Amino acid sequence: MLDLVRTVFPHGPFWGPFFFGAAIFGFRYLAFAGLAFAAWYGKRAAPRGKLQAPMPGLRQLAREIAYSVVTVLVFGLVNAVIAGYGITPHTRLYFEIERYGWAYFWLSIPVMILLHDAYFYWTHRLMHTRLLFRTFHAVHHLSTSPTPWTAYSFHPLESLVQALGVVLIMFIMPSHPLALILFQTISTAINVYGHLGYEIYPRGCARHWLGRWINTSVAHNRHHKTARHNYGFYFLFWDRLMGTLEPGYEARYAEARSRA
């Protein structure tokens, strides 16, 4: 993998991995956020189903896209440091699938999601403390009514925190680069959905025995509106366990789906 990067981008230990990582993150984000924005905020947008009534203005969209570009560059920077300066051998990255087998390869992806969900919940709650909110997380919460472009609209310091979650996974468990790419693709899709501003899950999801554990666009939209409760990413395990799920969440979900 590293030899491929250096072949495609033969510009020293930093710039090759930097451009390679930024390109992957950038194109993937552009695909998911761009398609979601075109589908839900284009000419045939349906304001009636929107979780918060006002449609985004150009100023909000410009700010979100600008910060998203910075986030992609920070992600590329972290990739460059890991891949370009001798840190990779100290991680648990492996490059031959036969080393652990295909069963482990596919199982590793949901395990990465569970690890990332725990990392996100606790770092997210930490960034909501008075000590850290203004420095790390306030930029993201400028979008009280989020759009797909809010997904990567982070202060550079928060972008670094987000990137380090993936780095931590690389140190904790054997991780194949392709499994990491698939995990991060799922993560990006969920991130864009969480900031969509519309709910697309079934009407009874929040009260279903399985759906009640899954994070929804309604839950994260409420988080942006109030800057309280609902700190999870993929699931609501930690919110329910730690008592940070918004009271009346199920009723709010049902109300939002009935309006849509």
Q: Where are the domains of the chain?
A: 2-41+56-197, 203-260
- Distance linking the first and last C-alpha atoms of the chain: 46
Per-residue pLDDT at 83:
87
Is residue 251 packed enough to be buried (19+ CB in 10 Å), middle (13-18) or exposed (0-12)?
A: exposed
Residues 6+ apart with CB under 8 A from 95: 1, 176, 177
Q: Are 182 and 112 within 8 A, CB to CB?
A: no
**Cα-to-chain-centroid distance, residue 110:** 15
Task: Say if residue 1's pLDDT is above 70.
Answer: no
Tokens (6 digits) for 52: 């918060």
Instruction: Report, as an integer, the average pLDDT of 208-212.
Output: 96
Q: Sign of torsion, CA 84 25 111 222?
A: positive
Instruction: Report, as an integer, the average pLDDT of 202-230.
Output: 96
C-alpha to C-alpha distance for 98 and 115, rounded to whole angstroms: 24
CA distances from 140 to 33, 65, 116, 125, 202 (A): 16, 12, 19, 14, 27
Task: Say if residue 259's pLDDT is above 80.
Answer: no
Tokens (6 digits) for 3: 């030899």
Indicate the length of the chain as a whole number. 260
Residues 6+ apart with CB under 8 A from 111: 173
* pLDDT band at residue 16 using 50, 70 and 90 as cut-offs: confident
Tokens (6 digits) for 93: 């990255």
C-alpha to C-alpha distance for 34 and 86, rounded to whole angstroms: 35
Number of alpha carbons in the 13 Å side-chain half-sphere of residue 252: 17
3-state secondary structure of 148: helix
Tokens (6 digits) for 62: 């410009």
Per-residue pLDDT at 46:
63
How high is the mean pLDDT of the chain? Answer: 93
Tokens (6 digits) for 217: 């666009």
pTM of the model: 0.92
Tokens (6 digits) for 10: 């033969």
Instruction: Give the range among 13-27, 36-50, 52-66 with minimum mean pLDDT.
Output: 36-50
